[in-house]
Amino acid sequence: MKEWYLKVRRRTEVICGPLELEDYSIQPSVDVSPPKWHLAHTTWFFEQFVLKAFVVDYKEFNSDFAYLFNSYYNNAGERVLRADRGMMTRPIVYEVLKYRQHVDKGMEAFLSLNPSKEQLDIIELGLNHEQQHQELLAYDIKYILGHQLTFPSYGSEFELKNSENGGFVAIKEGLYEIGYEGENFHFDNEEGRHKVYLYDFEIRKSLVTNGEWIAFIEAGGYENFNLWHSEGWDWVQSQETKAPMYWHYTKNEWHAYDMNGLKPLDFAKPVIHINLYEAYAYAEWKKMRLPTEAEWEVANMHFDWGQLWEWTNSSYLPYPGFKTAEGALGEYNGKFMVNQKVLKGGSVATPKGHTRKTYRNFFHPHLRWQFCGLRLVK
Amino acid sequence: MKEWYLKVRRRTEVICGPLELEDYSIQPSVDVSPPKWHLAHTTWFFEQFVLKAFVVDYKEFNSDFAYLFNSYYNNAGERVLRADRGMMTRPIVYEVLKYRQHVDKGMEAFLSLNPSKEQLDIIELGLNHEQQHQELLAYDIKYILGHQLTFPSYGSEFELKNSENGGFVAIKEGLYEIGYEGENFHFDNEEGRHKVYLYDFEIRKSLVTNGEWIAFIEAGGYENFNLWHSEGWDWVQSQETKAPMYWHYTKNEWHAYDMNGLKPLDFAKPVIHINLYEAYAYAEWKKMRLPTEAEWEVANMHFDWGQLWEWTNSSYLPYPGFKTAEGALGEYNGKFMVNQKVLKGGSVATPKGHTRKTYRNFFHPHLRWQFCGLRLVK
Amino acid sequence: MKEWYLKVRRRTEVICGPLELEDYSIQPSVDVSPPKWHLAHTTWFFEQFVLKAFVVDYKEFNSDFAYLFNSYYNNAGERVLRADRGMMTRPIVYEVLKYRQHVDKGMEAFLSLNPSKEQLDIIELGLNHEQQHQELLAYDIKYILGHQLTFPSYGSEFELKNSENGGFVAIKEGLYEIGYEGENFHFDNEEGRHKVYLYDFEIRKSLVTNGEWIAFIEAGGYENFNLWHSEGWDWVQSQETKAPMYWHYTKNEWHAYDMNGLKPLDFAKPVIHINLYEAYAYAEWKKMRLPTEAEWEVANMHFDWGQLWEWTNSSYLPYPGFKTAEGALGEYNGKFMVNQKVLKGGSVATPKGHTRKTYRNFFHPHLRWQFCGLRLVK
Amino acid sequence: MKEWYLKVRRRTEVICGPLELEDYSIQPSVDVSPPKWHLAHTTWFFEQFVLKAFVVDYKEFNSDFAYLFNSYYNNAGERVLRADRGMMTRPIVYEVLKYRQHVDKGMEAFLSLNPSKEQLDIIELGLNHEQQHQELLAYDIKYILGHQLTFPSYGSEFELKNSENGGFVAIKEGLYEIGYEGENFHFDNEEGRHKVYLYDFEIRKSLVTNGEWIAFIEAGGYENFNLWHSEGWDWVQSQETKAPMYWHYTKNEWHAYDMNGLKPLDFAKPVIHINLYEAYAYAEWKKMRLPTEAEWEVANMHFDWGQLWEWTNSSYLPYPGFKTAEGALGEYNGKFMVNQKVLKGGSVATPKGHTRKTYRNFFHPHLRWQFCGLRLVK
């Protein structure tokens, strides 16, 4: 476990490597957190739930940090409002990196002392938690850099592969099972393997591409209210949306910011940065629909996935028998089970080994800064 | 059909009977429509989709009304913004009543001429639509009167019966069917009878009462974030909510406005005017949960219902095979299938014969001016 | 005094005569009050400051009304938020008229009993207060009717005369006096006649006309930021302003709503419903400027005035020696002396005899629903 | 001039010396600009109005910077919205410092070539402009550091001296002159020396102190609406204001953040960081008033000033004969002459030699992050 611990922790810092110091503290949107905050918050998790909980003589790095770097664990005390994370210039980045070292040293020592199964479970959760923030870091870094006038390059790490249209695969009506089964790490929201009855459907083997999305735009997709949810249409109108996030129409051509700069759109790549409203409207336009999470989970062995999180039309709701755990860690999943949609799969920004077919990612329907795309069902 | 048409139409006017003229034009919240608007909008439906569609020489009452009294049918042209409905002092109520007479006369004539099945279907839809607005009228009238300093009385028409706790009924795990089956009127969202697999559950025979809710308040339910969805907790804090809508703590006692005035709370009545967040928090506190819509529909013959719409934890989503109809009437249901929850049953304000066990009512989680209550599952 | 009292009181009701009952309770903008509210609030003034203060056995009409119809007198207790005045459907208009009768009867009796000088002063203030609300009623009624889709007619009572350009009159540099002098009624803000030193200026004998304003529009006045205050330019851009309030460009022509309906613009009439930002920008465009209140007051015998309140570039500030009176009536003027501009003169909606050359009217720079126009200085 | 140029430019950088790199890019309030932005914007002034205007072969450092670092000169082209200045992580601070070097090198060369009087005038304006930003830098740095949880120390540079109460000085009624007279640098808004007629007044020799302010708080000053402007009272209530900015009540004692950390309040120091509403309420409580700018200017030789900018009750309006200059530099002052108040004097953050008795500083009434205090008149 110690080796894995150190590997995950180093990876977080490596992701921040290409940043300038100025990029670390900024919060350009309420949904985006400053990279410095991610570095500290993931560390706070281990300090709060492991070191302060189990190490009698643990010396806290800085008692203010609990307040500054708690995210949403009400049980763990007061915290900075989400929208104010970008106000913090202090502690400086260097101080946060020292905080990481301090906690890592404590954790290394703790891991050498033969922790109990229960303690190891918390650490495993902490590492999965940090991996989730590694993915959010990719989203947030893209947002920060992609909203600079100069479209600076981060590098080519999170590049997408081309999406080749391989047709549809048909799944037969019947009773299936979904949900996690096994002994390995998984989140509480995946538990409760259970039967679902599905009807015949066909699911596409590939994601919708940029080229296909251009066709939607050119067919007036963003101007035809018949294709949209009522709320989606309000969103289109209030935001004056005309294309996915990071698209810019310039020099008579669509360009997109990928993390390598602003470039002419690559038609063969899967479309990325569309929200649920857009995904739904596109499917309506094609006279198809989005998969449910059960359909996706049942069919997933018939197609490649892992490039982009895939919107489903399933709401994020508890599986049969779901129980919220006691204490702060019980706030991990259950309290978000309203008004959000499930996304399945994984993305190029998902740490290797972090996701699985039963993984239930979730976002609000209007959000699209995350690495997400669209697979159709008919 | 003609008789039924006239009966429904008269009923709408009767509901408005106890109002003062001043009560007709006001919009005290974006979700509440002025009664005058309901009177006109339900009439517009028949003018727009029947008389103007099928009667060659029909003379429109006033060509501005299509703009003024369209609700959300984008296909039927431009419309007044929902939030501006309370700006309209003209046409005056008298003019709207003349509009109703004008359209009713046209409809009577039309109904005498042996309309086609397709035409009768639209009229039936129009009458069901008007019944839905009759129920909304009750909500909106209660809101308007209940927010006057003087708590004026409307009368005793929509009174609730006592809710007597009769324990729980157990339902066995297995494959069940839900959704509409039959030949009578129903909405498109109920169609597609389909199999669902349910697990053992017990559902309470009675609704949660005011007395039980007081216990929740006194146990600190509105101050304990562990019970709430994250969004629910934000709602409690930003609204400083301490009780259901229409409750007032005065003279050392909880009072509630029912449509008959402000009165000491009746402990034996079912609790009304709680939103989904509150319903969820209450269930968490009881270590129980809300039913899903499938559970409710499967179990409904084992309990009385029809006093209040009952929150389920199911999101309002399409049934397998759901298809949006072409044209304006296709906007009726499908485009609202995001971010809303299903409520089952019916209420004292639901017109007789309007609802059925497969009926899918839906509201946003934060809303509570509607006549809604809570049934628990364990 | 009794005769004058009754005359003023009747006049308020006459102004409301052309309204439909539906027009009385609406508040289509935060700055507009419902006519019903004006009817009640002006009555409350006499009940609060005369009858309840001086008549021992006065029987209050309804004890809720003090809360409902107080405007901004914090000393007189709690009050309905300004923005919520349009929520009140109760008391109904008929009840408010009975309230007026009740108070008038009390006042008539009181006036028959030889009130003291101090008491008469309060009544005189109350009548001037009511006259101010008569003028506001005209503004608010115009706003309510002018924002109906059908542009209903109120009648021709408040019509403007043509404005004939008679050139400029020159005033010589020197020491002048402004401020009220005499024994008649006046507001506390006019007191403190004092010396001001003025420099040579020329002031136009007539107001700027609609025809001149068209020239400003056609010269791109609303698109040229150089002409505007920084805040004015923000206002133009955020509101997308292209013309004065109530102007509509339709059928290839500018129209304006006057209280008689929507009509082609009359070029010879003075321009009305421009705010200070617009007045300033127009003057900049003409390479002239607005008068100060001292200049206006010194020069006023050289031109006709009384059609429209005239923007000055003077801020509404205390005259030398200004003292706020003790008690609730001390809230009448002083507490508004920040961020507002003085307007001089009077308008066609000002009750006869109400204004005088020393009168200091005041509004915020962005407002333009009042009856205001523009006179230039060079 | 070259020597002065370099001295001013270095001073700006010295002011930023104590900052961490993280402090440079943040905008914690719409009125606060990031220090990096000040560094670049003051440089842009010289590049835009001198080097690009007069040096034929000048090579622009980066053509994006004109867009990024223009503040409000509409004539100088498009610009970043004020509220978005804190979104810019790029260019990094190092790049901005290189920009400063590049422009300084160009300016040094230009200054060696015997510039014309007109060119020197622009440079002199640019240096006064930079000095104004030096003062704003002090405000903004205090705001950034003072809103960190850890109250980091900047150092003791901007410390206030004690304010010793020396009574009042009386000024006689009469005709006085105010406004700039002379040949040295001054802003266009000070021009137009002119006569004003003043009445007898007495003005205090010292500023109001923290100790006196405590008395105001303890007397319920923030709870007594009679003392406040109507808008001021709205501000107190909506912000729940209980004390000047940077005051914290902790450990049973008032503390204030000065730039050296959070410390127990020093009663002998002048009160700082109150807005016009607070200054007015305090004066009302003392039954005194604020000076007008003319009173201040006439009386200023009788007291010490220069610790804090002093609120006057005069609105920021043009002096007789004020003319807006043509072109971008004409936007410097005139377009702000609405809704702002004049402050006289200078502060510990005002660069030496920058201010004078005729200087007209101005801020909106609600603002208080600037270094401002209060002198009373009776």
At residue C72 the predicted structure's pLDDT band, cuts being 50, 70 and 90, is low
Spell out which residues of chain D touch residue A67, defining contact as CB-CB under 8 Å.
Answer: 149
Quick one: pLDDT band at residue D44, thresholds 50, 70, 90? very high
- Which residue on chain A is closest to D20 by alpha carbon? A92
For residue B341, the SS3 value is strand
Is C178's Cβ below 8 Å from some Cβ in B?
no
Q: Which residue of A has its CA nearest to B285?
A: A324
Touch criterion met for D and C (3+ Cβ pairs within 8 Å): yes
Q: What is the mean pLDDT of residues B323-337?
A: 77
Mutate to test the interface with D, among C82, C226, C275, C326 (most CBs of D within 10 A): C226
pLDDT of residue B72: 66
Q: Which residue has the tokens 């009940």?
A: C47
Please tell me what DSSP assigns to residue D85.
G
Taking CA–CA distances from D72, the nearest residue in chain C reads: C230
Is the minimum CB–CB distance between A317 and chain B shorter than 8 Å? yes
Per the CB < 8 Å rule, is B90 touching C20? yes
**Within its chain, how far is the Cα of B275 from the centroid?**
13
- Which amino acid, C169? V
User: What is the spatial distance between Cα B147 and Cα B149, in angstroms, rounded to a whole number?
Assistant: 6
Confidence of residue B83 (pLDDT cuts 50, 70, 90): low
Cα–Cα distance, A281 to A229 (Å, whole number):
8
CB atoms within 10 A of CB C19: 19
Mean pLDDT of chain D: 94
A70 vs D133: which has the higher pLDDT? D133
What six digits make up the tokens of C103?
Answer: 């108070």
**Torsion of the alpha carbons at A367, A369, A372 and A373, rounded to the nearest 10:** 80
Chain B contact for A315 (CB, 8 A cutoff): yes
Q: Which of D89, D95, D149, D150 to mutate to test the interface with A (most CBs of A within 10 A)?
A: D89
For A196, B83, B188, the CA distances from C150, given in Å and listed in that order, are 57, 19, 37
Give the 3-state secondary structure of residue B126: helix
Measured in angstroms, the CA of A259 and the nearest CA of chain D are apart by: 15
Q: Which of C25, C64, C145 sits opposite B22 (nearest CB)?
A: C25
Q: Which of D88, D90, D148 sits opposite A89 (nearest CB)?
A: D148
Average pLDDT over all residues of chain A: 94
Please name the amino acid found at residue D373. Answer: G
Which residues in chain A have Cβ-Cβ distances shorter than 8 Å to B289? 318
Kindly state whether A249 is in contact with chain D, defined as any CB-CB distance less than 8 angstroms.
Answer: no
> Are B150 and C90 within 8 A, CB to CB?
yes
pLDDT in tens, D249-308: 988 999 999 999 999 999 999 999 999 999 999 999 999 999 999 999 999 999 999 999
pLDDT at A324 (0 to 100): 76
Count of Cβ atoms closer than 10 Å to residue C29 Cβ: 14
Buried b (16+ CB within 10 A) or exposed e, B331-362: bbbbbbbbbbbbbbbbbbbbbeebbebbbbbb
List C-alpha distances in Å: A246 to A24, A282, A363, A371.
21, 18, 19, 12
Share of chain D above pLDDT 90, in %: 86
- Best probe of the B interface among C30, C89, C94, by most B CBs < 10 A, is C89
Choose, out of B90, B92, B140, the residue to mutate when testing the contact with C (most C CBs < 10 Å): B90
B324 CB neighbours in chain A (<8 A) are 284
Q: B159 touching A, CB under 8 A?
A: no
Tens digits of residue pLDDT in C363-376 = 999 999 999 999 99
C106 vs A66, more confident: C106
**pLDDT tens track for A251-296:** 899 999 999 999 999 999 999 999 999 999 999 999 999 999 999 9
**Measured between beta carbons, which residues in chain B are less than 8 angstroms from residue C63?**
none
End-to-end CA distance of chain B: 44
The interface pTM score, or ipTM, of the predicted complex is: 0.94
Q: Does C150 touch chain B (CB under 8 A)?
A: yes
A366 in contact with chain B, both atoms CB, cutoff 8 A: no
How far apart are alpha carbons A56 and A49 in whole angstroms? 13
- Facing residue for A199 by CB, picked from B229, B232, B320: B320
Could you tell me which residues are beta bridge partners of residue B201? B171
A and C touch with 3+ CB pairs <8 Å, answer no
What is the pLDDT averaged over residues B85-96? 91
Give pLDDT, residue A79.
65
Task: Say which DSSP state A285 is in.
Answer: H
Residue of D nearest to C197 (CA): D196
Q: Which stretch of C4-13, C156-165, D313-322 has the lowest confidence by average pLDDT?
A: C156-165
Q: What are the chain C neighbours of D232 within 8 Å (beta carbons)?
A: 338
Instruction: Please give the average per-residue pLDDT across D319-329, as a whole number.
Output: 79
Q: Does C92 touch chain D (CB under 8 A)?
A: no
Digit-coded pLDDT (tens) for A111-168? 999 999 999 999 999 999 999 999 999 999 999 999 998 899 999 899 999 988 789 9
Q: Does B230 touch chain A (CB under 8 A)?
A: yes
Q: What span, in angstroms and rounded, lies between the C-alpha atoms of D152 and D22?
A: 13
Residue of B nearest to C62 (CA): B150
Beta carbons of B144 and C93 less than 8 Å apart: no
Calpha distance D341→C60 (Å, rounded): 45
In chain C, what percentage of residues exceed pLDDT 70?
A: 96
Neighbouring chains of B at 3+ CB pairs within 8 Å? A, C
What HEC string does D123-177 produce? Answer: HHHHHHHHHHHHHHHHHHHHHHHHCCCCCCCCCCCCCCCCCCCCCEEEECCEEEE
Task: State pLDDT tens for residues A85-111.
Answer: 778 899 999 999 999 999 999 999 999
Asked if the model's pLDDT at residue A69 lies above 90, the reply is no
C367: region left, alpha or beta (phi > 0 left; psi from -120 to 50 alpha): beta
Say yes or no: A78 contacts chain D, CB-CB below 8 A. no
- Give residues with Cβ within 8 angstroms of A7, minimum separation 6: none
With CA atoms as reference, the chain A residue closest to B177 would be: A197
> Do B148 and C25 count as a contact with CB atoms less than 8 A apart?
no
Chain B positions in Cβ-Cβ contact with residue C141 (cut-off 8 Å): none
- Each residue's pLDDT tens digit, D334-361: 899 999 999 999 999 999 999 999 999 9
